[in-house]
Structure 1
Amino acid sequence: MKSVPTHKPRPMVDLLVSIVVPAFILMKLSGDNELGASGGLILALSFPLGWGLFELVKYRKFNFIALLGLVNVLLTGGIGLLELDTKWLAIKEAAIPGVIGLAVLASTFTSSPLIKALLFNPSVMDVEKINERLQQHNSVAEFEARLLKATYFVAGSFAFSSTMNYILAKWLVTSPAGTPEFNEQLGQLTLYSYPMIALPSTVMMMAIFYYLWRTIHSLTGLKLEEVLANKSAG
């Protein structure tokens, strides 16, 4: 039986396939003298859709965020090809991070807040060592309370993304769906959303990680290198 290959993050490839290439096609190849509005849209969306399906089939790992990404691509294609009102594009842009944020918030009412899946998990941190030290210092309850606060911070970062997505889509995409102008504006939205939304969101996630690390350090006395998961160990 063939083993499933290990997934290795390739951020530059992801950026190229999911943002740069589709934006170029939408902005430069969607005119009536090139691929046309529908042809340009289909080709542009095929890149992130094909890449997402390739990763899903190759690594056979369910990824909620990746699934939302695929749904996002399909909804964008549906809005463009069915020539729906552009207000639905703004709503869709806001809905994806909004759904994630609500899921993070809803997880605070369960025994496993999603912060554990995002940051406090064995692939990122040495969870076993941290839990042992927390028990030794009688700090488990305090840590859980701060973990809950970090979960609220994560939900807030997705709320920021949702709001900015909506504002940016309403500002940039004003032409009717199914036109070359719509495709060009959609390409601009794809490009601008990265520096204006993705980067600030990444900075916020890094700040939340720092907060979590400072919390662990103050409650356990562990250093950063002791907190991070050591995949080469054992």
Structure 2
Amino acid sequence: MNTNEQTDKHQTDENISAEDIQAANDNREKPKKESLLANLLLNIVVPTLVLTKLSGDEYLGTKLAIIVALAFPILYGANDLIRNGKINFFSALGIVSVALTGGMSLMELPPEYIAIKEAAIPGLIGLAVLVSIKTKYPLVRTFLYNDKFLQTDKVEQALEKRGKVTDFNKAMRNASIMLSGSFFLSSALNYILAKMLLVSEPGTEAFNAELGKMTALSFPVIAVPATIIMMGTLFYVFRSITRLSGLSLDEIMVEQ
């Protein structure tokens, strides 16, 4: 085999190798997107119906109704963890929160304990976000400014080139305060909702109905306002990045 033939064969092998790699990447199974409908059904609608309609002695009874109702969000969250192949902070936290609610209800602890638990979890997250401002790794970067969504290396290079690193750090501090505010709001609303609705004795059909009502109202009363604040924070972060780096949103977003 002459030199030209060897060169052509080597180039062909390289091309085939590159094509094979590209094909493998293209055919790699992408993570399935979460279904909003399934999320709402399994985390809110089904548990609410079980607690409010099936807690009577002629159906499941109070304790079994709690177990069945809370099994749906727990299994949904566990399936989400398994499907994604890694631990999602909020999914894991949701499983823990639901398990605590179920445990307290089955132990027939006073409703005050559930109200405190409902407020404590988002409250502690909000506090952690604030405290993290003083560390090298503020949580706002984990939640809103990370490599999953943004080309952070490209952004940081542009910020250094324009001498805007200090201004950007100030913007991240403001975003941290805004983000913690969404968690503190969620904490306050959780406590108020639990105190207003959970008034019956634990272990009764009336208590289960109140627990179901609290589950149903948690989305419009708590999740929507907190999400609005979080989306406002996200808009502020993106606006700050584009303004300080001089890059457009299309230039900094990671292609999905």
Q: Would you say same fold, with TM above 0.5?
A: yes
Structure 2 residues without counterparts, runs of 5 or longer: 1-27
How big is each residue's C-alpha offset from its partner over 1:26-45, in whole Å with a ceiling of 9 and x where there is no partner?
11111121111111110000
Cα distance change on mapping 1:30 and 1:5 into 2, 3 Å: farther
Aligned residue among 74, 87, 101 for 2:112: 87
Structure number with greater CO (CA < 8 Å, separation at least 6) is 1
Whether 1:72 and 2:97 are equivalent positions in the alignment is yes
Whether 1:170 and 2:195 are equivalent positions in the alignment is yes
Q: State the alpha-carbon separation in 1 of the partners of residues 123 and 67 from structure 2.
A: 26
- 1:163-202 alignment, distance < 5 Å: 163-202=188-227
Q: State the alpha-carbon separation in 2 of the partners of residues 111 and 96 from structure 1.
A: 24
Q: State the alpha-carbon separation in 1 of the partners of residues 146 and 214 from structure 2.
A: 33
Aligned match of 2:185:
160
Q: State the alpha-carbon separation in 2 of the partners of residues 99 and 154 from structure 1.
A: 13
Q: State the alpha-carbon separation in 2 of the partners of residues 101 and 69 from structure 1.
A: 16
Structure 1 residues without counterparts, runs of 5 or longer: none
TM-score, normalisation: structure 1: 0.93
Aligned residue among 33, 44, 47 for 2:69: 44
Cα distance change on mapping 1:4 and 1:94 into 2, 3 Å: farther
Matched-pair identity in %: 43
Q: Indicate if the aligned counterparts of 1:4 and 1:58 stay in contact, CA closer than 8 A.
A: no
Q: State the alpha-carbon separation in 2 of the partners of residues 46 and 179 from structure 1.
A: 19
Aligned match of 1:210:
235
How big is each residue's C-alpha offset from its partner over 1:119-177, in whole Å with a ceiling of 9 and x where there is no partner?
11122222122112111111111101110110111111100100010001000111111
Q: State the alpha-carbon separation in 2 of the partners of residues 210 and 50 from structure 1.
A: 33
**SS in structure 1 at match of 2:136:** coil
Which amino acid letter does the alignment assign opposite residue 207 of structure 2?
A: F
Q: State the alpha-carbon separation in 2 of the partners of residues 145 and 137 from structure 1.
A: 15
Q: Indicate if the aligned counterparts of 1:130 and 1:216 stay in contact, CA closer than 8 A.
A: yes
Whether 1:25 and 2:50 are equivalent positions in the alignment is yes
Which amino acid letter does the alignment assign opposite residue 176 of structure 1?
A: E
Aligned residues: 229
Larger radius of gyration: 2
Aligned residue among 202, 219, 233 for 2:244: 219
Higher share in helix:
2
How many Å apart are 1:93 and its aligned residue?
A: 0.7
**SS in structure 2 at match of 1:222:** coil
* CA RMSD between the two structures: 1.5
Q: Indicate if the aligned counterparts of 1:4 and 1:59 stay in contact, CA closer than 8 A.
A: no
How many Å apart are 1:179 and its aligned residue?
A: 0.9
Q: State the alpha-carbon separation in 2 of the partners of residues 7 and 120 from structure 1.
A: 23
How many Å apart are 1:4 and its aligned residue?
A: 8.9
Q: Indicate if the aligned counterparts of 1:93 and 1:162 stay in contact, CA closer than 8 A.
A: yes
Aligned residue among 141, 148, 167 for 2:166: 141
Q: Indicate if the aligned counterparts of 1:165 and 1:197 stay in contact, CA closer than 8 A.
A: yes
Q: Indicate if the aligned counterparts of 1:27 and 1:183 stay in contact, CA closer than 8 A.
A: yes
How big is each residue's C-alpha offset from its partner over 1:49-82, in whole Å with a ceiling of 9 and x where there is no partner?
1111222233331222222111111111111111
Q: State the alpha-carbon separation in 2 of the partners of residues 5 and 42 from structure 1.
A: 34
